[in-house]
Amino acid sequence: MFHKEGYKIILITLVLAITMSLAADYFIINDYLRSAFMLLAIVMLVLVLQFFRNPKRNLNISEDNVVSPVDGKVVVIEEVFEKEFFNEKRLQVSVFMSPINVHVTRYPVAGEVVFSKYHPGKFLVAWHPKSSEENERTTVVVSSKKFGNVLHRQIAGALARRIVNYAEKGQQVTQGSDSGFIKFGSRVDVFLPIGTKLDVKLNDVVKGGTSILASI
């Protein structure tokens, strides 16, 4: 199963891979070189297919939990001053996605979208200290029953060249449902109230919609 954001790119890559293979078969005489060229076309297609995969998940839905919005590794856990929406200190949990991770972004909590904003910007590597403020990004805040306002921020990385955000202010959303998609590697930050009990630690590997970041 593939995500809808990848349909166009998958089709283009498939046509390109077929064209490369046919051209290699017709124009390249050397057997080894022809096989290598065809293999390159297949590898390119496989990489694109695995990037846009969207596997079915048994979502961990509960008002008492905040689930990870994406697949990846927990790279930041710290108290920071969040100045775009809260204008106060919050507990930040950041998950870094490599190009081989599933890149669907999911809502960490259920509730009403009270804020959704896109920011154009740079494409610094996702772990750069200033990437959360200077890179292309989107900020979404969902008002939940148990945790109050929970902010998650999609941040583009050095390879990411497009962030897709489905959240609209006033929308009622379900925990674990699609919030957006980041193409080709990035990071997502989650901002929680100070004192929130975390269920993850640095370098933990998490899965979007199933791994619990925090709980009551």
Strands 212-215 and 186-192: unpaired
Q: 65-215 belongs to which homologous superfamily?
A: Glucose Permease (Domain IIA) (2.70.70.10)
Are 190 and 174 spatial neighbours (Cβ–Cβ below 8 Å)? no
Give the domain ranges of the chain: 4-51, 65-215
Mean pLDDT value of segment 73-89: 96
Q: Which of 176, 178, 133 is nearest to 155 (CA)?
A: 133
- Picking from 113, 84, 127, 93, the residue whose alpha carbon sits closest to that of residue 174 is 113
- Give the model's pLDDT for residue 120: 87
Considering only residues 134 and 128, tell me which one the structure prediction assigns the higher pLDDT. Answer: 134
pLDDT of residue 160: 52
Residue 49 pLDDT: 86
Which tokens in the block code for residue 64? 């008492």
Task: Read off the pLDDT of each residue in 141-165 and give the average, rounded to a whole number.
Answer: 87
Cα gap 146→151, rounded to integer Å: 14
Per-residue pLDDT, averaged over 75-83, amounts to 95
Whole-prediction pTM: 0.83
**CB of 192 within 8 A of CB of 153?**
no
Q: Which of residues 195 and 125 earns the better pLDDT score?
A: 195
Whether 33 has a pLDDT exceeding 60, the answer reads yes
The pLDDT score that the predictor gives to residue 185 is 62
Residue 14 host element (H or E) = helix 7-27
68 classed as catalytic: no
Identify the active-site residue in 21, 116, 132, 186. 186
- How far is the C-alpha of 172 from the C-alpha of 18, rounded, in Å? 43
Task: Tell me the average pLDDT across 73-95.
Answer: 96
